[in-house]
């Protein structure tokens, strides 16, 4: 409710609609007598102090009549909208319930009606149904219905494909019941929102009908009728016609604004209402001297979103040349956001802070914007899960690769083109000449991922960040891509940060493994120790719960009870304590990441 009043449009819409409702309720009892009082002494007068909007041909006060007419105008509009909405929704829902042939007929009819001009449809119906309020309401209702029918159809089609509808069908739930239980409740929200806007339209439509003489007939009167009566005098006494016109316009604007704001508020996904947990600003402490050898050095990286949601908390990481480091964690652990933060790709309104963020010996935080982009553009290659996210579907593959060289390295077009074909061949894409001339959709998934890697190799990358690059691929293709990554890292001496949820893949590819849980690094260990030398209970449980080709099939598989806390739920202690078998009272305090043997660090009080 509060967001309705936050924007000027929302405030105006709500106020206008509220005024209209008050007017409809209070208007007739207050001004009813005044509106009907005939006074032969003051017929056809213009605006005056006694009659601010003048009087009509029987000497009745027009301001009073405008105020009284609100009730009938709004009531008729509401009626017309309901007729249109109910008729339209039923019409739109029918095809999903009827057998094939009648369903097609209904769909065809709706399509034809949508193409038919609304006002024409309304007038046509009104003339057939007879002059007067009833005809006008029916006419406007009929004019509104096709739009609703189309909207219902479209929305229902999107829900009808949902798995839960398939499940209901398999359970033998009848089609009519699927419609009323599953489909309609899930599309009700947009339909109701559309109702508010349709109400504004109906109000204007009805006023139009009355103005054309097709609507309300004397002695009844609505705004349209008053406009019709006053229109002949618009040049001599303009206030007579302007009064009802302003009323119609304000009501129409009010309902449309309100509908707009409601629709926008509904489409916006709810922002998680996280309490700003008072996190002690990560103590940078003694910052050690920068490692001159490291390609990437990150200290105390934190990503924060408004509302105190902190998906990445004080992460530190170092990657040396030629080294492949695996960053492993489950969904929501903050691993992908870590990659985005290093590449400067955290979406607004996220905020990144770090005590140190060095790439190739240069502190990214101290570089001016333009130079930072140049450095990232030439020395960082990023590979994402979906190669189509990195490739423009409208451009040829070769051209996209060549662009990297022309933009960042100032190569000529011919040089860039030759290099692009060379790089495509380098990642073992067969017939690179021909492939370079093709569009991304003509390549298979594995081939596209190779092309993205080739794009990263157009420069001389020092760091390759691969974020779940094989998750969408088949295992046989995954294997080829992993091999390619290993070769590329080996021959170029670049460092690779490989992000994955799949601990087996990480175990196969990487030299060193960094395990993340709820935004923090809980363990960092050499890959040889991953299978049986892990020290953190989470890492151990993760390894144990992974079935592989040697898992004993007679024993139940290990799993971790509970779920990973979301960034908004995190307390001050160890985030894993609630799911941990070894947890003690001490875990209410967060354990620091401390050295545990050679090249091994762990954040657990119980690791010893």
Partner 1 sequence: MIIKNLTVRFGAFTAVDDVTLEIPAGAIVGLVGESGSGKSTLARAVTGLVPYTGEITGGDPRRIQMVFQDPYASLDPRMTVGASVAEGLRVPRAARQAEVERLLSLVSLPASMAGRYPRELSGGQRQRVAVARALGARPELLVADEITSALDVSVQGSVLNLVRSLREELGLSMLFISHNLAVVRYVSDVVAVMHRGRLVEMGATEEVVGSPRDGYTRSLLEAVPRLKRA
Does 533 interact with partner 1 (rule: CB under 8 A)? yes
Count Cβ atoms within 10 A of the Cβ of residue 370 and give its class: 0-12 exposed, 13-18 middle, 19 or more buried.
exposed
Under the criterion CB under 8 A, does residue 272 sit at the interface with partner 1?
A: no
| Per CB under 8 A, 269 contacts partner 1 | no
Q: How far is the CB of 12 from partner 1 (least distance, A)?
A: 32
Q: Label residue 120 exposed, middle or buried (CB < 10 Å: 0-12, 13-18, 19+).
A: exposed
Query: Smallest distance, Å, CB 263 to partner 1?
Result: 19
363 contributes a contact to partner 1 by CB under 8 A = no
Helix (H) or strand (E) holding 298: strand 296-305
Q: Cβ 556 to partner 1, closest distance in Å?
A: 5
Piece of the chain touching partner 1 by CB under 8 A; list 207-215, 405-413, 433-441, 561-569: 561-569
Q: Among residues 218 and 556, whose Cβ is nearest to partner 1?
A: 556
**Footprint of partner 1 on residues 221-250 (CB under 8 A)?**
none
CA-nearest of 219, 246, 211, 230 to 38 is 219
List CB contacts of 248: < 8 A, sequence separation 6 or more.
73, 203, 204, 207, 223, 224, 227
Do 424 and 397 meet the contact criterion of CB atoms below 8 Å apart? Answer: yes
Residue 301 is classified by DSSP as: E
Strand order in the sheet with 463-467: 380-383, 463-467, 495-500, 324-328, 512-517, 520-526, 601-602, 594-595
| Binding range to partner 1, per CB under 8 A, among 122-130, 170-178, 190-198, 294-302 | 170-178
Query: Does 493 interact with partner 1 (rule: CB under 8 A)?
Result: no
Provide the 8-state DSSP code for 271.
Answer: P
Site string for partner 1, 465-484 (x = CB under 8 A): ---------xxx-xx--x--
Per CB under 8 A, 361 contacts partner 1: no
- Bin 246: left if φ > 0, else alpha if -120 < ψ < 50, else beta: alpha
Q: Is 569 in the site for partner 1 (CB under 8 A)?
A: no
Find out whether 296 and 495 touch, Cβ atoms under 8 Å.
yes
Identify whether the C-beta of residue 315 lies closer than 8 Å to the C-beta of residue 520: yes
Half-sphere exposure of 91 (CA within 13 A, CB side): 24
User: Least distance (Å) from partner 1 to the CB of residue 367?
Assistant: 37
Pairing of strands 594-595, 601-602: antiparallel
* Of 2 and 553, CB closest to partner 1: 553
Asked if 201 contacts 144 with a C-beta cutoff of 8 angstroms, the reply is yes
- Which one, 291 or 508, has the nearer CB to partner 1? 508
Check residue 162 for interaction with partner 1 (CB under 8 A). yes
Which long-range contacts link 278-286 to residues 24+ away (Cβ below 8 Å)?
279/308, 279/310, 279/313, 282/313, 282/314, 282/355, 284/355
Sole window of 191-199, 293-301, 380-388, 527-535 interacting with partner 1 (rule: CB under 8 A):
527-535
CB of 282 to partner 1, least distance (A): 27
The residue from 291, 508, 569, 606 that contacts partner 1 (CB under 8 A) is 508
Cβ pair 190, 155 in contact under 8 A: yes
Out of 129, 192, 504, 568, point to the residue binding partner 1 (CB under 8 A).
504
Chosen residue from 19, 131, 345, 558 binding partner 1 by CB under 8 A: 558
Rounded to a whole number of angstroms, the minimum distance from the CB of residue 480 to partner 1 is 9
Report if residue 564 touches partner 1, rule: CB under 8 A: yes
171 interacts with partner 1 by CB under 8 A: yes
Our finding on whether 501 is near partner 1 (CB under 8 A) is yes
DSSP per residue, 529-545: GTTT---SHHHHHHHHT
| Cis preceding linkage at 219, omega within 30 | yes
Task: Pick the binder of partner 1 from 9, 15, 44, 181 (CB under 8 A).
Answer: 181
Burial status of residue 594 (CB atoms within 10 A of its CB: 0-12, 13-18, 19 or more): exposed
- Minimum distance, C-beta of residue 180 to partner 1, in the bound complex (Å): 12
Residues between 536 and 555 that touch partner 1 (CB under 8 A): 541-543, 545-551, 553
Site membership for partner 1, residue 180 (CB under 8 A): no
Q: How far apart are CA 465 and CA 469, in angstroms?
A: 9
Piece in contact with partner 1 (CB under 8 A), picked from 197-205, 295-303, 381-389, 524-532: 524-532
Phi-psi region at 466: left, alpha or beta (left = phi > 0; alpha = psi -120 to 50) = beta
502 makes contact with partner 1 (CB under 8 A):
yes
CB of 478 to partner 1, least distance (A): 7
Instruction: Decide: is 164 part of the binding site for partner 1 (CB under 8 A).
Output: yes
Residues that bind partner 1 (CB under 8 A): 162-164, 166-173, 181-182, 185-186, 330-331, 474-476, 478-479, 482, 501-505, 507-508, 527-528, 530-533, 541-543, 545-551, 553, 556-561, 563-564
């Amino acid at each position: 409710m509060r967001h309705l009043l936050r924007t000027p449009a929302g405030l105006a819409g709500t106020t206008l609609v509220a005024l209209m409702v008050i007017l409809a309720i209070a208007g007739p009892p207050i001004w009813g007598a005044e509106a009907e009082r005939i006074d032969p002494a003051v017929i056809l007068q213009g605006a005056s102090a006694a009659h601010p909007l003048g009087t009509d041909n029987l000497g009745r006060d027009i301001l009073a009549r405008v105020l009284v007419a609100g009730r009938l105008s709004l009531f008729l509009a509401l009626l017309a909208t309901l007729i249109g909405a109910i008729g339209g929704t039923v019409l739109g829902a029918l095809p999903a319930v009827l057998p094939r042939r009648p369903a097609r007929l209904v769909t065809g009819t709706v399509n034809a009606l949508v193409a038919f001009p609304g006002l024409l449809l309304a007038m046509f119906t009104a003339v057939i149904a007879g002059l007067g309020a009833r005809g006008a309401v029916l006419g406007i209702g009929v004019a509104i219905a096709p739009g609703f029918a189309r909207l219902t159809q479209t929305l229902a089609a999107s829900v009808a494909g949902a798995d839960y509808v398939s499940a209901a069908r398999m359970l033998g739930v009848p089609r009519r019941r699927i419609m009323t239980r599953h489909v309609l409740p899930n599309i009700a929200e947009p339909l109701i929102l559309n109702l508010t806007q349709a109400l504004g339209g109906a109000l204007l439509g009805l006023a139009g009908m009355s103005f054309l003489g097709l609507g309300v007939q004397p002695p009844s009167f609505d705004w349209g009728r008053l406009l019709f009566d006053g229109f002949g005098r618009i040049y001599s006494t303009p206030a007579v016609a302007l009064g009802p016109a302003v009323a119609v316009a304000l009501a129409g604007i009010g309902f449309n604004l309100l509908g707009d704001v409601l629709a926008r508020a509904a489409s916006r996904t709810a922002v998680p209402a996280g309490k700003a947990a008072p996190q002690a600003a990560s103590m940078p402490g003694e910052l050690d001297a920068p490692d001159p050898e490291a390609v990437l050095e990150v200290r105390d990286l934190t990503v924060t979103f408004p509302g105190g949601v902190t998906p990445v908390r004080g992460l530190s990481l170092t990657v040396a040349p030629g080294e492949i480091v695996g960053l492993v964690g489950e969904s929501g652990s903050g691993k992908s956001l870590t990659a985005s933060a290093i590449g400067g790709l955290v979406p607004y309104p996220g905020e990144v802070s770090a005590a140190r963020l060095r790439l190739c010996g240069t502190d990214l935080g101290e570089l001016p914007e333009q130079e930072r982009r140049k450095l990232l553009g030439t020395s960082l290659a990023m590979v994402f899960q979906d190669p189509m996210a990195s490739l423009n579907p409208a451009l040829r593959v070769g051209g996209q690769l060549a662009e990297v060289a022309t933009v960042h390295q100032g190569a000529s077009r011919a040089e860039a083109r030759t290099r692009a074909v060379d790089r495509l061949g380098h990642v073992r894409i067969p017939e690179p000449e021909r492939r370079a001339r093709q569009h991304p959709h003509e390549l298979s998934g594995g081939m596209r991922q190779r092309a993205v890697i080739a794009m990263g190799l157009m420069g001389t990358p020092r760091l390759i960040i691969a974020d779940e690059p094989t998750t969408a691929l088949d295992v046989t293709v995954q294997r080829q891509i992993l091999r390619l990554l290993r070769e590329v890292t080996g021959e170029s001496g670049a460092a690779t940060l490989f992000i994955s949820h799949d601990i087996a893949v990480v175990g196969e590819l990487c030299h060193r493994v960094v395990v993340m849980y709820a935004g923090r690094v809980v363990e960092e260990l050499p890959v040889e120790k991953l299978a049986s030398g892990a020290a953190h209970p989470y890492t151990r449980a993760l390894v144990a719960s992974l079935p592989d080709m040697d898992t004993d099939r007679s024993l139940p598989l290990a799993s971790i009870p509970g779920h990973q806390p979301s960034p908004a739920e995190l307390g001050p202690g160890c985030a894993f304590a609630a799911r941990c078998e070894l947890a003690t009272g001490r875990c209410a305090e967060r354990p620091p990441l401390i050295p545990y043997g050679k090249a091994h660090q762990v954040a657990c009080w119980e690791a010893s």
